[in-house]
């Protein structure tokens, strides 16, 4: 009887020692609570829920002690090997390979390409200038991060938050941050998506402060109709020009434009539907949950994360300000034909940034429709941020 009792007690003891409850430290508790906050923001406040919810749940899973779903040591060392991850890794390790090997972000871009209408940009190519101006936020933030003591790879990863483009931020950070450390792809993605959701709050005060009422009231000329041939030529020409000039931007720009070509060709309906829906949704789930898994307590609960959050909002604000400044230059150059508010849409975040331009413009004149005009710089911003990403990858 005593022997049975001993076995029972030892088994219970072993179970307790192996349980997550035994290993649950204050760091894990704080991280789990933070993940609950993000889950709340995604579900109740609807902050980019399609990505923030998987990211937040990935954060929750990775911080459960002894679950072993994500093992950062498999990715941090210089001896990273796909075979080792497949053999020894947990579920989230295997899913994270899609991020580490830069597969998921270009696939997301393929879906975005299938959903994007570049018509407003083709009919007003000068919008590219606003898309380029808004990328100023990325490079000025790079300078700020470097001055604050981050190394080049970390500064580049933080700066790309200013592009307001989640897949691009994940793509750049997963490629640059190879040696571990306190800045991870997860922390970058978390900051990027949180700020993207906050675009309607961050941008309007900057836009109002930088423009006069007269500038905000400018009604722009109707855009010309774009032919189908122009729309079909667009993705091919953009890929050719960008990939030849900045080859490292080719995976992102190439897939974005491939998706757009599928859409505009009007002969691949089944592929377009798959890329827009099933493929995009599957990749979004894998990307979100595996990126969320990189947010281990040691990466978040340190002063560097606070710096990333601060620099992230600065990057967004600078990007918006640079875009509006570009819009003001175009306003002057065209003799008041361009509403400077559309410049802020150059920070990507499609179509939210364009909606913000429309909303702020409508505050001054409710009959003024800036949305289609703002879509030009908005989609130019996607191309611009992909080019900026390529430049950062090339230089760093």
Partner 1 sequence: MNYTDIISVVLTGLVVVFLALILLIIYFSIQGKLFSQKTTNVKKNVTPAKSKAQNNVQAVTSLPQVDSDEDEVVAVISAVIASMSLNDGKTYKVKSIKPAKNISSVRSAWAMAGLHENTTPF
The residues of the shown chain that bind partner 1, judged by CB under 8 A, are 121-123, 125-126, 128-129, 131-132, 135-136, 138-140, 142-143, 146-147, 151-152, 155, 219, 224, 227, 229-230, 233-234, 237-238, 241-242, 245-246, 351, 354-355, 358, 366-367, 369, 371-372, 375, 380, 383-384, 387-388, 391-392, 395-396
Minimum CB distance to partner 1, residue 146 (Å): 5
Minimum CB distance to partner 1, residue 234 (Å): 7
275, with CB counted inside 10 A (0-12, 13-18, 19+), is buried
* Cα–Cα distance measured from residue 282 to residue 90, given in angstroms and rounded to the nearest whole number: 19
* Cα–Cα distance measured from residue 357 to residue 364, given in angstroms and rounded to the nearest whole number: 11
Of the pair 13, 213, the CB lying nearest partner 1 is at: 213
Of the pair 15, 245, the CB lying nearest partner 1 is at: 245
Of the pair 186, 377, the CB lying nearest partner 1 is at: 377
Q: What Å distances lie between residue 62 and 20, 93, 174, CA to CA?
A: 12, 10, 18
152, with CB counted inside 10 A (0-12, 13-18, 19+), is middle
Minimum CB distance to partner 1, residue 143 (Å): 5
Q: What Å distances lie between residue 308 and 179, 219, 318, CA to CA?
A: 18, 38, 15
Of the pair 128, 171, the CB lying nearest partner 1 is at: 128
Of the pair 33, 143, the CB lying nearest partner 1 is at: 143
Minimum CB distance to partner 1, residue 382 (Å): 12
Q: Two tokens at 103?
A: 């597969």
Of the pair 94, 152, the CB lying nearest partner 1 is at: 152
Assign 81 to helix, strand or coil.
coil
Cβ atoms of 114 and 263 within 8 Å: the answer is yes
Minimum CB distance to partner 1, residue 71 (Å): 31
Minimum CB distance to partner 1, residue 104 (Å): 24
Cβ atoms of 293 and 62 within 8 Å: the answer is yes
């Amino acid at each position: 009887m005593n022997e049975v009792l001993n076995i029972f007690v030892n088994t219970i003891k072993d179970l307790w020692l192996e349980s997550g409850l035994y290993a649950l430290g204050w760091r894990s508790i704080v991280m789990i609570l933070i993940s609950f906050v993000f889950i709340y923001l995604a579900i109740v406040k609807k902050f980019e829920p399609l990505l923030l919810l998987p990211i937040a749940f990935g954060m929750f899973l990775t911080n459960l002690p002894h679950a072993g779903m994500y093992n950062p040591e498999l990715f941090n060392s210089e001896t990273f090997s796909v075979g080792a991850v497949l053999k020894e890794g947990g579920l989230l390790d295997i899913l994270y390979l899609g991020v580490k090997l830069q597969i998921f972000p270009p696939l997301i871009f393929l879906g975005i390409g299938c959903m994007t209408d570049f018509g407003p940009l083709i009919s007003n190519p000068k919008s590219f200038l606003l898309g380029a101006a808004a990328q100023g936020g990325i490079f000025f933030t790079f300078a700020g991060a470097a001055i604050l003591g981050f190394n080049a790879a970390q500064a580049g990863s933080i700066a790309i938050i200013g592009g307001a483009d989640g897949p691009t931020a994940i793509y750049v950070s997963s490629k640059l941050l190879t040696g571990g450390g306190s800045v991870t792809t997860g922390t970058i993605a978390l900051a990027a998506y949180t700020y993207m959701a906050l675009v309607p709050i961050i941008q309007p005060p900057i836009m109002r402060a930088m423009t006069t009422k007269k500038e905000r009231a400018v009604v722009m000329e109707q855009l010309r109709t774009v032919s189908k041939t122009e729309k079909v030529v667009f993705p091919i020409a953009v890929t050719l020009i960008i990939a030849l000039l900045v080859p490292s931007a080719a995976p992102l720009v190439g897939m974005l434009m491939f998706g757009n070509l599928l859409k505009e060709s009007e002969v691949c309906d089944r592929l377009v539907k798959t890329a827009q829906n099933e493929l995009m949704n599957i990749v979004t789930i894998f990307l979100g949950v595996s990126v969320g898994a990189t947010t281990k307590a040691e990466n978040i609960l340190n002063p560097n994360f606070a710096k990333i959050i601060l620099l992230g909002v600065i990057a967004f604000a600078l990007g918006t300000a640079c875009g509006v400044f570009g819009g003001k230059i175009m306003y002057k150059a065209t003799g008041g034909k361009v509403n400077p508010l559309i410049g802020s849409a150059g920070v990507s975040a499609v179509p939210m940034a364009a909606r913000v331009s429309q909303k702020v413009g409508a505050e001054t004149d409710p009959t003024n429709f800036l949305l289609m005009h703002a879509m030009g710089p908005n989609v130019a911003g996607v191309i611009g941020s992909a080019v900026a990403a390529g430049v950062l990858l090339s230089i760093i």
